Amino acid sequence: MQVQNISTSQVSTPNFQGKINIIPGDLSYEPAKYVRKAYSAMEAKIKDKPFDLFLKQKNGTVSVRAQKEKDFIRNKGIKAEVDVSNNADIYESVTNSVIEMYENKLKSQPKTFQAKINHFFKRTCDKFLQIMESNEGINT
C-alpha cells in the first residue's frame, strides 16, 4: 500500500497536515489488510496534527510511530511508538493511543530557550512598568 506525497502547493500552507508514511514501502498482505480497513479513521485523527504517523513492518510486528518527519529522518526528538502484531485489527485504537502518548510527551517537554527568553523579558518589562507607575518611579 502506497501513500501519496504532499504536493509543493500544500507544503507552503501554514496549516498542519499530518500524514501517514509507510516505511520502507509496502506492508505484507496481512497487516496491509487491517491498515487499509482503519486507514480513513487513522487519517482523520492525524490530519490536523503537527506530526506524522510512520508504519514500519518488522519481524512479526508493525511499528506505529508518531513523530515529526524531520525528527524521524534524523532519528532524534520526541517520539511515541507502539508495536502491533501483524494479524491484529486494532490500528484505529493504536493510532489514538500513540497520538495521545505523543501529545503528553510534547506537553511535558521543557521550555525552549526562546520561551525562557520571552518570559524573562515580559517579566522585566512588567516590573519596569510597575515601578514607573508607582510613586517610587524616576522623577523628572
Under a CB-based contact definition with an 8 Å cutoff, are residues 50 and 16 in contact?
yes
How far, in Å, CA of 9 to CA of 61, rounded? 35
pLDDT in tens, 90-136: 888 999 999 999 999 888 877 778 888 888 999 999 998 888 888 66
Counted residue by residue, the chain has a size of 140
Q: Is the pLDDT of residue 37 over 60?
A: yes
- SS3 of 21, please? strand
Residue 13's pLDDT band, with cuts at 50, 70 and 90, is very low
Cβ neighbour number for residue 77 with a 10 Å cutoff: 13
In the prediction, which pLDDT does 123 show?
93
pTM of the model: 0.64
Is pLDDT above 90 for 7? no
Helix/strand/coil for 36: helix
Does domain 8-109 fall into CATH 3.30.160? yes
pLDDT score, position 24? 62
5 pLDDT tier (thresholds 50, 70, 90)? low
| In the chain, domain spans | 8-109, 110-140
pLDDT value at residue 126: 92
